[in-house]
């Protein structure tokens, strides 16, 4: 929960503070307020939770308790490349947990967290419905079947390389323009 | 309610109805083909938006005039996107086409609307009995069903209140404003309607308890926190015919003496939330919700509360805690919500399907409702059948039909 806020998010927090005024200071408005915050920021940073608690004049731990109870709310910003590792029955049997552990170790974050540069986030999901390919991981919107620890390394490397290529091409087109 | 109030309600509603009928007649009598496209979440997921765009583009390109009418879902998910084309000039009755892809849409505009060939190999059936082509009622998937709650689903535009009123909508609510709350509760009790959320508690009894409960402020909650895997009956009803649920809510509120209702809808159903919001707005504009409804002294407001993804909140007491802004933890009963519910006021919580059953019951009478289904549990039930059957989708059948019949005869 200790990620630095980006400048856009700081701006969004200000508009959220303005939006808060439209809600009555009632406990019953807590969940609608949290939904509004998440709509703006895509997640609930601790700064926002504290702001909501102050506004409603309740303890921050109460707000946190309610927010963690409901599945809809998330506490980490989504990464640019969200990694979802399937741990449904079929993937579990074919050692999906090893794949999850590999991603966690190589990215240096735990399940449900986001890397500091906001490139990757890891999430474990239940069955994604392609059990014949177990174990399965989804990066971005691409489904990768028959995952193995070596493949984890390869996939992460590929993203790095693709980023490099994109960067080089951008530089190239910019230099061509000038 | 004093009798002189009645004099105001009837003319007020009559004017609304006249407008609705006028619009309906204008639609029916327009001398152009009508294309009805099913646009609920399931239709959209199967590509109904692309299909609709294809129809619009092809019609514009070929310079054909036709009316496109967006409807809800008829519950036949295996055939989505479903399109009904009513082309009276061709001599054919309205025809239902299953799985209309954009390509098929282009072909139908060219061959059917322009050249008058309905492409019989692509049809499912005509929507009415006729002498030319088989009708859908020849299929067991259609004729074994008995539709009470979902009668209008897929035939009316959920985002147009006049479409519902033209089909006799809200007339039952107006009729019940003439009755005393005791009459309404007795009628529901006699009908034997039981809660459709799964518990099967007699609805009439719940309303009676709430009617007699002490407390100035009473509340009604519509439970639309449908979370069981594979179940989507409530979503379809809210997306295809939200006004029937609102009408049921209003009748319930009038009967128990409440003036405020909350619809607890899952945040995972964005389209349902949007459509119900529109429906509430439209009903307010026509004076069917709000203060002094149709000039009577009955006030009634409906709000939406979006559930945030906790399965347990479908349970009454957990739902109440969730609306109050706490963790949705169930508590022991008694006291039951009808005695001590939301914000410690007497609260009636009914499922979407229960509320949607109320208008047809009061319209046709308790005896009629009792004639459907079994003795102890009259009426119909809606099933969402998915998995290894041919005709997946929603099936509304009388209580007492066997599972074998549902799976093998109806869904194939």
The answer to whether domain B27-143 and domain B169-370 are alike in fold is no
Q: How many domains does chain A have?
A: 2
Query: What's A118's domain CATH number?
Result: 3.40.30.10
In a domain, A48, yes or no: yes
The verdict on A62 and A14 lying in the same domain is yes
**ipTM of this predicted structure:** 0.73
SS3 B293: helix
Structure tokens at B63: 């310079």
Query: In sequence order, which residues have a C-beta less than 8 Å from that of residue A26 and are 6 or more positions away?
Result: A56, B325
C-alpha–C-alpha distance, residues B287 and A5, integer Å: 47
Q: Does the beta-carbon distance from A70 to B324 stay under 8 Å?
A: no
Check residue B299 and give its pLDDT. 87
Q: Does the beta-carbon distance from A31 to B310 stay under 8 Å?
A: no
The verdict on A87 and A145 lying in the same domain is yes
**Top-ranked range on mean pLDDT: pick from A43-47, B119-123, B206-210, B340-344:** B206-210
B374-383 confidence digits (pLDDT tens):
888 888 999 8
B47-71 confidence digits (pLDDT tens):
888 888 898 888 888 888 888 888 8
Q: Does the beta-carbon distance from A70 to B325 stay under 8 Å?
A: no
String of DSSP letters for B306-320: EE-S-GGGGSHHHHH
Domain limits for position A93: 81-152
String of DSSP letters for B169-201: TTHHHHHHHHS-HHHHHHHHHHHT-B-TTTT--
Structure tokens at B340: 């001590």
In a domain, A38, yes or no: yes
SS3 B144: coil
Task: Report the top-level CATH class of B169-370.
Answer: alpha beta
Question: How many Cβ contacts (< 8 angstroms) between chains A and B?
Answer: 39
pLDDT for residue A130 is more than 80: no
Taking contacts as CB-CB distances below 8 angstroms, the residues of chain B near A72 are: 267, 308-309
The percent of residues above 90 in pLDDT, for chain A, comes to 6
The verdict on A94 and A146 lying in the same domain is yes
pLDDT for residue A170 is more than 60: yes
The verdict on A52 and A93 lying in the same domain is no
**Rounded mean pLDDT of B241-246?**
90
Check residue A3 and give its pLDDT. 63
In a domain, A171, yes or no: no
The verdict on A92 and A134 lying in the same domain is yes
Q: Nearest 10 degrees: CA dihedral of B394, B397, B401, B404?
A: -20
In a domain, A92, yes or no: yes
The verdict on A15 and A55 lying in the same domain is yes
In a domain, A132, yes or no: yes
Check residue B130 and give its pLDDT. 81
The domain segmentation of chain B, as residue ranges, is 27-143, 169-370, 380-410
Look at B79 and B5; give whichever has higher pLDDT.
Answer: B79
Q: State the maximum Cα–Cα separation within chain B, in Å, rounded to a whole number.
A: 68
The verdict on A63 and A110 lying in the same domain is no
The CATH code of domain B27-143 reads 3.40.30.10
Sheet holding A81-86, edge to edge: A120-125, A81-86, A137-139, A142-144
Structure tokens at A159: 């993203």
pLDDT for residue B2 is more than 60: no
Instruction: Output the average pLDDT for chain A.
Output: 84
By DSSP bridging, strand B380-385 and strand B393-398 are antiparallel
Structure tokens at B255: 């009967």
Query: What's A50's domain CATH number?
Result: 1.10.10
pLDDT for residue B172 is more than 80: yes
Instruction: Output the average pLDDT for chain B.
Output: 86
CB B347 within 8 A of CB B207: no
At B6, is the pLDDT very low, low, confident or very high (cuts 50, 70, 90)? Answer: low
**Rounded mean pLDDT of B245-272?**
88
Among A49, A69, A89, the domain boundary falls at A69
The verdict on A136 and A98 lying in the same domain is yes
C-alpha–C-alpha distance, residues B93 and B133, integer Å: 9
CA distance A103 to chain B (A): 27
String of DSSP letters for B235-286: HHHHHH-HHHHHHHHHHHHHHHT--EEEEEEETT-HHHHHHHHHHHHHHHHT
In a domain, A43, yes or no: yes
**Which residue from B310, B322, B323 is facing A71, i.e. has the nearest CB?**
B310
């Amino acid at each position: 929960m200790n990620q630095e806020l980006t400048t856009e998010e700081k701006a969004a927090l200000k508009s959220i503070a303005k939006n808060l005024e439209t809600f009555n200071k009632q406990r019953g408005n807590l969940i609608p307020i949290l939904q509004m915050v998440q709509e703006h920021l895509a997640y609930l940073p601790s700064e926002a939770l504290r702001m909501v608690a102050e506004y409603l004049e309740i303890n921050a731990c109460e707000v946190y308790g309610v927010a963690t109870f409901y599945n809809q709310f998330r506490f980490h910003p989504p990464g640019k490349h969200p990694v979802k590792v399937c741990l449904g029955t079929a993937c579990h049997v074919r050692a999906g947990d090893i794949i999850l552990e590999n991603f966690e170790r190589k990215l240096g974050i735990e399940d449900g967290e986001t890397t500091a540069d906001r490139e990757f986030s890891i999430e474990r999901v239940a069955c994604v419905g392609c059990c014949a390919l177990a174990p399965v991981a989804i990066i971005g919107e691409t489904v990768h079947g028959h995952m193995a620890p070596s493949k984890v390394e390869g996939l992460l490397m590929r993203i790095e390389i693709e980023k490099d290529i994109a960067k080089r091409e951008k530089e190239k087109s910019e230099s061509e323009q000038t | 309610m004093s009798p002189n109030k009645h004099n105001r309600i009837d003319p007020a509603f009559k004017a609304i109805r006249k407008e609705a009928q006028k619009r309906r007649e204008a639609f029916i009598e327009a001398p152009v083909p009508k294309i009805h496209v099913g646009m609920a979440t399931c239709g959209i997921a199967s590509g109904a938006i692309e299909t609709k765009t294809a129809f619009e583009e092809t019609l514009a390109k070929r310079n054909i005039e036709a009316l496109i009418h967006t409807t809800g879902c008829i519950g036949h998910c295996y055939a989505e996107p479903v399109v009904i084309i009513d082309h009276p000039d061709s001599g054919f009755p309205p025809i239902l086409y299953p799985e209309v892809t954009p390509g098929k849409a282009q072909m139908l505009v060219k061959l059917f609307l322009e050249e008058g060939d309905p492409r019989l190999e692509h049809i499912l059936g005509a929507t009415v009995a006729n002498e030319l082509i088989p009708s859908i009622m020849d299929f067991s998937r259609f004729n074994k069903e008995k539709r009470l709650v979902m009668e209008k689903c897929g035939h009316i535009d959920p985002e147009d209140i006049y479409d519902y009123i033209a089909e006799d909508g809200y007339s039952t609510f107006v009729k019940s404003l003439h009755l005393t709350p005791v009459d309404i509760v007795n009628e529901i009790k006699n009908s034997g309607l039981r809660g459709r959320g799964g518990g099967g508690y007699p609805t009439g009894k719940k309303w009676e308890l709430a009617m007699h409960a002490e407390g100035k402020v009473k509340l009604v909650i519509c439970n639309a926190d449908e979370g069981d895997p594979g179940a989507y009956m409530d979503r379809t009803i809210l997306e295809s015919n939200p006004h029937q649920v609102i009408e049921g809510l209003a009748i319930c509120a009038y009967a128990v003496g409440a003036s405020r209702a909350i619809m607890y809808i899952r945040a995972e159903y964005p389209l349902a939330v949007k459509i119900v919001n529109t429906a509430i707005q439209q009903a307010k504009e026509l004076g069917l919700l709000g203060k002094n409804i149709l000039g009577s002294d009955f006030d009634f407001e409906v709000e939406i509360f979006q559930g945030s993804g906790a399965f347990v909140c479908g349970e009454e007491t957990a739902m109440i805690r969730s609306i109050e802004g706490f963790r949705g933890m169930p508590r022991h009963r008694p006291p039951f919500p009808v005695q001590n519910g939301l914000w410690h006021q007497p609260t009636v919580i009914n499922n979407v399907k229960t509320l949607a059953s109320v208008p047809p019951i009061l319209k046709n009478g308790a005896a009629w409702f009792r004639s459907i289904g079994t003795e102890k549990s009259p009426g119909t039930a809606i099933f969402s059948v998915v998995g290894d059957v041919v005709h997946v989708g929603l099936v509304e059948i009388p209580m007492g039909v066997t599972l074998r019949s549902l799976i093998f005869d109806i869904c194939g």
